[in-house]
Amino acid sequence: MLFLAAAPALAQAPVEVRAGDAIVNAWRVEARTDTFAMAFESGGAALLVIRTAHAGEAAAPTLLRVERISTLEGTEVSMDSFAARRTSLVPVYDVEHHRRSTRTLTFPPGSVTGKKETGGVRTPVNATLDPPAFYMNTTDLILASLPLEQRREFRVAMWDPDHGAYTLRLHPAAAETTRTVDGGTCDAWKVEVDERNGRSTYWVERRTQALLAYVAEGMEIRIVRHAACPASDGRRESR
């Protein structure tokens, strides 16, 4: 007797995503402040505070993001201020300060202009964003804005001021439980991401898709507490 194997399910083709595409729903990104513990393979540690706010008029609603990295003693290591259109995540500007370098960028339609300064040397930035691209270091905002629950694979157009355009590959999300630093338990989406420098893993809260944890080669960050992630004794910590 001849047995026929069941035909494998056809995989969905990856969805190509550019800044401004209708599939991007950045309205779901909440205004909030979160603190993350950073741990490095070298043994170092730091704190990352991310503040996200809503601003702008009704005709041009804006998403503001400030990221501050400091030592455990409170010394600032870097500060990054970023803005995007709240309707689309199209970047507006980015200003980044490190101890020995700064970068200031603005994003007119279809392009980016600005400057980088390192060790007193100033380098102008003037590039075309074709296709319309998201700015690097905004992967968590992109994850919060895409329909991960549909288990789709995404190919996302990105731009890096040091290396130019590249493609971010987001593999289908999987349901998983993760923990906060203070012992809370979270229902999360786990998303494997092929970034420019290799593969990394993100965990985002199931309902809001807000960032909970991130692991890449040599580094891990994990949220200290989240209101949707109760501790094992049933207590809920405020954000």
Phi then psi dihedrals of residue 108, to 5 deg: -60, 160
**Mean pLDDT across 110-129:** 93
Residue 83 forms part of a structural domain: yes
236 has a pLDDT exceeding 60 = no
Residue 1 forms part of a structural domain: no
In this prediction, residue 187 carries a pLDDT of 95
**Weakest-pLDDT range from 68-72, 99-103, 233-237:** 233-237
Query: How many domains are there within the chain?
Result: 1
Pairing of strands 15-17, 154-160: parallel
In this prediction, residue 6 carries a pLDDT of 44
Residue 143 forms part of a structural domain: yes
239 has a pLDDT exceeding 60 = no
Residue 153 forms part of a structural domain: yes
Split at pLDDT 50, 70, 90, the class of 197 is confident
pLDDT, tens digit (0-9, with 9 covering 90-100), for 20-54: 999 999 999 999 999 999 999 999 999 999 999 99
**Mean pLDDT across 209-213:** 96
Split at pLDDT 50, 70, 90, the class of 11 is low
In this prediction, residue 238 carries a pLDDT of 39
What is the CA angle 118-168-206, rounded to 5? 110
Residue 59 forms part of a structural domain: yes
Report the SS3 class of residue 145: helix
Please tell me which residue, 34 or 11, carries the higher pLDDT value. 34
Q: What is the mean pLDDT of the chain?
A: 90
pTM of the model: 0.88
Instruction: Print the domain residue range for 87.
Output: 15-223
Residue 228 forms part of a structural domain: no
Residue 116: CATH number of its domain? 2.40.360
pLDDT, tens digit (0-9, with 9 covering 90-100), for 67-76: 999 999 999 9
pLDDT, tens digit (0-9, with 9 covering 90-100), for 147-186: 998 788 999 999 998 889 999 999 999 999 999 999 999 9
